[in-house]
């Protein structure tokens, strides 16, 4: 049984064969290979479309194969309501587990020793701010000039902190992140007198993050208020690569505009910084926190691709995508 759609050619080991049963998959794979100047031989047999590609081009062809399946993939959970339900159910289970841990005998012993644990419910809004690095990304080439502009995203999560002596703290948790981009794609071909500008208003990517932070809290001396500053690293996993396509019909020839967001690695490591003001939870009274946060991945963890196609005319452009996020941080501090 073959688990993938490619294999070494049985009659000539210098070649690899890619097999597609769906015609639109095969057509898109052919278009991508032509855009990348990857030579191939096409053959159809028993309802399958096969592409023979030399092994020297296998790495590039395999990437095109993955991009085709990413473009036409369906959600693992088709229903949006079920997806949100699963997310909320997971958050609830994690929350109950952490609350149970905090209320256990060990946790109470640590509180009595003067080193309490805290549990925060975190809600964040990304606020596009050029001065803090949340800037548009330009993608140009092949007649394409595209702009990926960050929009208001959001984060939800749970944080657990341990207060140490002299105001120091250690913290961790789990967070769900939704990044948003608006993509404007301009295409021009002076030879054929083609010019268009199209907007893909919603380019969304999802990720999970485990933050690991150290910080300090300084009491203000009024109403249990504290100034808090912390920093550290995180482990972030992007759930999938993202594709958005749009068919544009007009007085001239129809064309297809596409934006693709890929990941260069499965796990990224963001640098994180946070500053704000907090009112401590005291007795049975919950507290709160309001502040500002910033994070930026170490290295280049994502890339942006734009394509424009109309018949035999097409353009392709790529660039690394900035994933810096910054914005408002609001938390509910649960009672100790």
Q: What is the pLDDT of residues 215-262, one digit of tens each?
A: 998 888 888 889 999 999 999 988 777 888 888 876 667 788 889 888
Dist CA 329 CA 327 (whole Å): 7
In 3-state terms, what secondary structure has residue 318? strand
* pLDDT tens, residue by residue, 54-84: 988 988 888 888 888 877 766 555 566 666 7
Q: Which of 336, 325, 247, 248 is nearest to 293 (CA)?
A: 325
**Which range (10-19, 92-101, 125-134, 323-332) has the least confidence?**
92-101
SS3 25: helix
State how far the Cα of 36 lies from the Cα of 53, in Å rounded to an integer. 13
CA-closest candidate to residue 100, choices 160, 157, 171: 160
Quote the pLDDT of residue 109: 41
The H helix count followed by the E strand count for the chain is 4, 19
CATH 3.30.70.260: which residues of the chain? 6-72
Alpha-carbon 285 to chain mean position: 36
Fold classification of 6-72 (topology level): Alpha-Beta Plaits (3.30.70)
pLDDT of residue 264: 82
End-to-end CA distance of the chain: 56
Which residues belong to CATH 2.40.160.20 in the chain?
Answer: 116-333
Q: What is the pLDDT of residue 10?
A: 83
Name the CATH code of domain 116-333 (choices 3.40.50.720, 2.40.110.10, 2.40.160.20, 1.20.1200.10).
2.40.160.20
Model confidence over 294-327: pLDDT tens digits?
Answer: 999 988 888 899 988 887 788 888 899 989 999 9
DSSP 61-124: HHHHHHHHHHHH---SS--HHHHHHHHHHHHHHHHHHHHHHHTSHHHHHHHHTT--EEEEEEEE
């Amino acid at each position: 049984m073959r688990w993938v759609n490619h294999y070494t050619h049985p009659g000539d080991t210098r070649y690899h064969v890619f097999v597609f049963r769906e015609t639109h998959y095969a057509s898109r794979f052919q278009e991508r290979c032509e855009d990348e100047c990857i030579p191939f031989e096409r053959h159809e047999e028993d309802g399958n479309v096969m592409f023979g590609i030399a092994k020297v081009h296998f790495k590039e062809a395999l990437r095109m194969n993955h991009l085709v399946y990413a473009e036409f993939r369906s959600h693992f959970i088709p229903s949006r309501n079920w997806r949100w339900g699963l997310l909320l159910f997971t958050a609830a289970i994690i929350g109950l587990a952490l609350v149970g841990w905090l209320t256990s005998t060990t946790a109470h012993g640590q509180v009595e020793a003067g080193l309490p644990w805290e549990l925060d419910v975190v809600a964040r809004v990304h606020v596009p701010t050029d001065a803090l690095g949340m800037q548009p990304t330009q993608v140009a080439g092949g007649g394409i000039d595209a702009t990926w502009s960050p929009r208001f995203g959001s984060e939800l999560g749970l944080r657990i902190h341990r207060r140490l002596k002299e105001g120091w703290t250690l913290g961790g948790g789990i967070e769900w992140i939704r990044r948003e981009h608006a993509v404007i794609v301009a295409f021009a071909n002076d030879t054929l007198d083609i010019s268009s500008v199209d907007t893909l208003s919603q380019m969304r990517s999802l990720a999970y993050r485990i933050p690991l932070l150290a910080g300090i809290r300084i009491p203000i001396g009024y109403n249990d208020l504290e100034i808090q500053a912390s920093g550290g690293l995180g482990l972030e996993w992007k759930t999938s690569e993202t594709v958005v396509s749009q068919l544009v019909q007009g007085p001239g020839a129809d064309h297809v505009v596409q934006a693709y967001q890929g990941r260069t690695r499965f796990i990224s490591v963001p640098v994180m910084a946070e500053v704000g003001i907090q009112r401590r939870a005291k007795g049975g009274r919950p507290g709160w926190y309001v502040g500002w946060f910033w994070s930026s991945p170490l290295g280049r963890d994502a890339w942006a691709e734009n394509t424009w196609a109309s018949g035999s005319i097409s353009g392709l452009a790529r660039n690394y995508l900035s994933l810096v996020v910054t914005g408002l941080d609001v938390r509910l501090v649960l009672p100790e």
